[in-house]
A and B are shown apart, each in its own frame.
Chain A
Amino acid sequence: GAVVSQHPSWVICKSGTSVKIECRSLDFQATTMFWYRQFPKQSLMLMATSNEGSKATYEQGVEKDKFLINHASLTLSTLTVTSAHPEDSSFYICSATRTRAGNTIYFGEGSWLTVV
């Protein structure tokens, strides 16, 4: 079964509003989680590293004020897309590491965001 869960699986929002996506590690603690974005027919692009109890680390070119990341507990990281625009429509995916499984990285099911 899934070891990393995302919610919601898909969401439609109006332009200018904010949307929150959750990423949970099931049955294990993850001090570090990662957020990716994927446009149609493209590969996954790393957006940021979510660190429990501290600020996220963003990849070059990713706006930290637009993509707010909060990692308040060892099993939950959230990505908030603020003031969403149609160009933010994408597939957002998170990942977490299960240390006891030899540092194997597991991915969530992904969240489809459509901004209209």
Chain B
Amino acid sequence: DAKTTQPTSMDCAEGRAANLPCNHSTISGNEYVYWYRQIHSQGPQYIIHGLKNNETNEMASLIITEDRKSSTLILPHATLRDTAVYYCIVRMNYGGATNKLIFGTGTLLAVQP
């Protein structure tokens, strides 16, 4: 079973920041938080990942709480192309079989014009 919980859906106005929450209260010390998104009829796309520090890349920012039980993915200026299902996943990062990802239901982000 997936080890994360996310809201089923969210709306965001185009140009505004989209903040997608994720709860992972049972995360263990050696597990990372990964975010992927899936645009309709495509394979999932990697967005960002982190262990305990906040992370930022060209796509998004990841804010992880100090107790690591929850995190927030931030898309700073959402566009219509960001409409997708966003998946928050926790996993170890040791390679091999630990690379399998167990997907939850994700959050459908709908960016409105």
Contacts and interface: CB of A to CB of B under 8 A. Distances in A.
B93 A103 contact: yes
B97 A105 contact: no
A34 B103 contact: no
A78 interface: no
B103 A32 contact: no
B102 interface: yes
B97 A57 contact: yes
B44 A44 contact: yes
Interface in A23-71: 31-32, 34, 36, 43-46, 49, 57
Given A43-B105, A44-B103, A110-B41, A49 B46 contact: no
A109 B95 contact: no
A108 B87 CA distance: 16
Contacts of A34: 99-101
A102 B92 CA distance: 12
B113 interface: no
B95 A99 contact: yes
Interface residues of B, number: 24
A97 to B, nearest CB: 4
A67 to B, nearest CB: 16
Contact of B41 (A4, A91, A97): A91
Contact of A49 (B38, B41, B93, B100): B100
A61 to B, nearest CB: 14
A32 B97 contact: yes
A4 to B, nearest CB: 8
Interface in B2-61: 34, 36, 38, 41-46, 49
20 contacts: A32-B95, A34-B99, A36-B103, A43-B103, A43-B106, A44-B38, A44-B101, A49-B97, A93-B43, A95-B44, A95-B99, A95-B101, A97-B95, A102-B93, A103-B95, A105-B34, A105-B46, A106-B46, A109-B42, A110-B43
Given A45-B103, A97-B95, A97-B99, 6 more contacts: A44-B38, A44-B101, A46-B103, A95-B99, A107-B45, A109-B43
Interface of A: 4, 6, 31-32, 34, 36, 43-46, 49, 57, 91, 93, 95, 97, 99, 102-110, 112
